[in-house]
Amino acid sequence: MSALFRKRRSLHLPITLSVTLIVLNVSLMIVWIVLFAQNTWWAALVLGVVVFALILTGLSIYMVLMIKEVRLNQRQANFVDAVTHELKSPIASLSLHLETLSLRSLSDDQRQKFYATMERELERLDTLISQLLEVGRIEAIGRQNPITDLLLDSLLRSVAQEVAGHYRKEASDIFQFDLETAVLRAPQVVVETIFRNLFDNAIKYGGNPPFVQIRVRSHGRGRIVI
């Protein structure tokens, strides 16, 4: 899990450094061509151009790899933030219910309701811990948050049913779906965690009884609106 807690890195430095080196390389290559073309030293000219072209290619590859690494680190940091936020909710709920049970005299019916709520929060914690362990397992075998093609309609329905189950409800009792067929290329664990957190908050703050509408629209060229 240590890789998930890398320090956030900005894209500004690697891009600036790479662009500066590329511009410098191109400038030197132009000077080289001008100098040797005037003296008709064609062998040295060709050799120099080839070397500069190789350096330029290497710098370009370096810039692309650095951007990918920084973006990966940013996604991992965002994932940790989302999970940390989601962990706080059931822990706070359990703490509040335990405090209430210890300080107040409650009827058997009230106690049963409290126990049922605490059981649901424990199930949420178990799900979160399982997700974190899954991420750790993926990293351990060298496949950090593998990117796959996800069918959004089935994924959203599955997560909605899971979240509704925490409240002893069916997804149809809370959620209304208006989903177009769309494919999202992203890490499944991360996407499920994000939507699980969103749906749970939507139920909490979606009125009494809660009502949550989920819409998906695909606009082509990789654009999906949820």
- Tell me what percent of the residues of the chain surpass a pLDDT of 70: 88
Asked if 158 and 185 count as a contact pair (C-beta separation under 8 A), the reply is: no
Q: Are 170 and 164 in contact (CB under 8 A)?
A: yes
How confident is the model over 57-108, as pLDDT tens digits? 888 888 888 878 777 777 777 777 777 777 787 888 888 888 888 877 778 8
Query: Is 191:155 a contact under the CB 8 Å cutoff?
Result: yes
Confidence of residue 9 (pLDDT cuts 50, 70, 90): low
- Which residue, among 170, 161, 173, 154, has the nearest Cα to 199 in the 3D structure? 161
Under DSSP, is residue 66 helix (H, G, I), strand (E, B) or coil? helix
Residues 6 or more apart whose CB falls under 8 angstroms from that of 209 comprise 173, 174
184 C-beta neighbours (distance < 10 Å), count = 18
**pTM summary value:** 0.47
Beta bridge partners of 212: 175
Residue 174 has pLDDT above 80, yes or no: yes
